[in-house]
Amino acid sequence: MKQPLFGLKLVVCGYELERKEHRGIAVFSKGLIYSLKEAGAEVWLLTELSPSDIKGKSQLPYSVRRLVFMSRLLDQLSSGEAYPYDDSTLKRWLRNKPLLGWSLSISKVGRQWKRNLFPQRKIRSNQLSFLPLGQLISSPYQSCERLAYLRYIDGIICARDCFTDSFNLAKRRSNQKLQIDLNGFDGIISTSPLNIEPLNTDIFVQTLHDLIPFEYARTLDNLPSFFQRLNATISSRRIFVSKDAEQKYNASILPDTHCDAKRLASKVIYQCPSLHFPEDALDWEANVCELTIQSSEDLHLHSLNPFGFLLFNSSLVPHKNILFALRAFMESGVERLGVKFCITGQPQNDEYSNTVQQLANKHKNIIFTGYVDEATKRHLYLNALALISPSLVEGFGIPVLDAACLGLAAVASPVGSHKEIQQMRDFDTYVVLRSTLDTSDWASAIRKLAMHHQDKVARMSQNDVQALLNKIRENRILRYNLVQKIINIEFTNSICELLSPAKNGKPTRLDLVN
């Protein structure tokens, strides 16, 4: 297979991979890393994580200190949170005393204020820590599900607080960007807009997903900061995850005066689906009789009948419109057919998430799992009756893409990116768009799907029903693997066209593999 990016040494920003919950942009980041590696590039991950120094380090050789630092870094990437590795006995004691632990909180707040008031403006090359992953020998973190992307990266670059400082600079009126000296690298790709200016590198690409903070008022983003991050993309090449995002950006962010910016290369690149089936999926996952899902919130076990539940797989934020979907579900009456509603997503610490959780607690047919791992998510998709996605605004809509790739019915809102997904391939067969102005339209669509499945199995014996469900799952897996392979190659080709110079008038492309 051709490797058109061979010889390029590229940096991918890992901000979204540091979050506790891996959602749409994290999926994009992983797909990008995979595609760059497939195309032959040397890939390094940029992170702002920089674990605390080791106590008693003078007693340890440099190689051991390096290994401990690497393990702590990977631990933070794996868990999505910092762990107090070297807390003293006094600190641990204070942390367990509510009346005294405030002193630690004040100290932490003080450090945050200092960082907010005095963000660094430039990170020199000698301030970066370069950690080649080739130095890892059978690290336990290489076996962690969340860190599966490690096999496709060559190293990690640690730039302490680089993303946080860039956000703090973006809040200021000076419009100053955080400069990062990447001497020795050919380029850097951000997976979401960042207020940065790379130095000593030729390629700078920023990815734009949406303008949601401007379009939907109930978001927590700092608007001047978000605008400055978008403004920083004017001087870079740009990846848009949808035509909808590109149109909104060109209309609202890119003024007519920025003619040079318009000439910079930009491209709409549809991202890869997020599910990954193991090699034995046809032998094992296609032949299950029931699902048992553990809630991440209360460790409660939930039993679900295959093809007996609707799936909502998104964050619990207002613009995802989950309460609308729940009203439609209850209005549809499919509960009488034994159909349940399964919600997966990390609850936020706000009134909206509390309302969703309270409703789920009071309603026996609404299952709230909290955030689930990739294996559990895959099992839910494979056995769902349909996916429900009533978003009021979207960047792209990975849940709908995953469903369409599987051949799973998806009832979705008619936002721009959902329309684009429906127009891809044969996805209009599976993606049903319904207006969110009336729950009755959604209740009717849900009822139709449930009744269709009920009529199909009504006159079958139990063995015949199980054989039918096994066949549906088998078809979903086969279809998904085929469509995923094609989309992955198309994604990689598009990235190569954006990054690599044209040869003989045509950009270098990967060959489609049968």
DSSP 8-state secondary structure symbol assigned to residue 80:
S
Annotated domain spans of the chain = 9-84+121-268, 285-484
Quick count: other Cβ atoms within 10 Å of Cβ 213?
17
- Please list the rounded mean pLDDT of every run of 10 residues in the chain (514 residues): 88 94 91 96 96 69 87 92 62 58 59 75 95 88 92 96 94 90 97 96 95 89 91 93 94 68 78 94 90 75 92 93 96 95 87 87 89 91 97 94 98 97 97 96 97 93 94 97 96 92 46 42
Q: How far is CA 477 from the centre of its chain?
A: 22
Cα separation, 473 vs 510, whole angstroms = 31
The answer to whether domain 9-84+121-268 has CATH 1.10.10 is no
Q: What is the pLDDT of residue 100?
A: 55
> Concatenated DSSP letters for 208-264?
E---HHHH-SS----HHHHHHHHHGGGGSEEEESSHHHHHHHHHHTS-TT-HHHHHS
Is the C-alpha dihedral spanning 211, 214, 215, 218 positive or negative? positive
CATH node for 285-484: 3.40.50.2000
Cα separation, 512 vs 514, whole angstroms = 6
Is the C-alpha dihedral spanning 103, 162, 241, 172 positive or negative? positive
DSSP 8-state secondary structure symbol assigned to residue 51:
P
Cα separation, 362 vs 348, whole angstroms = 19
Cα separation, 104 vs 179, whole angstroms = 32
Cα separation, 141 vs 148, whole angstroms = 9
- pTM for the full model? 0.89
Which residue reads 């006995």 in tokens?
A: 89
**C-beta separation of 69 from 97 below 8 A:** no
Which residue reads 């807390």 in tokens?
A: 87
Q: What is the pLDDT of residue 129?
A: 93
**C-beta separation of 352 from 317 below 8 A:** yes
Q: Which of 271, 221, 212 is nearest to 33 (CA)?
A: 271
Q: What is the pLDDT of residue 500?
A: 74
Q: What is the pLDDT of residue 174?
A: 81
Q: Strands 301-304 and 291-294, how do they pair?
A: antiparallel
Which residue reads 């609850």 in tokens?
A: 347
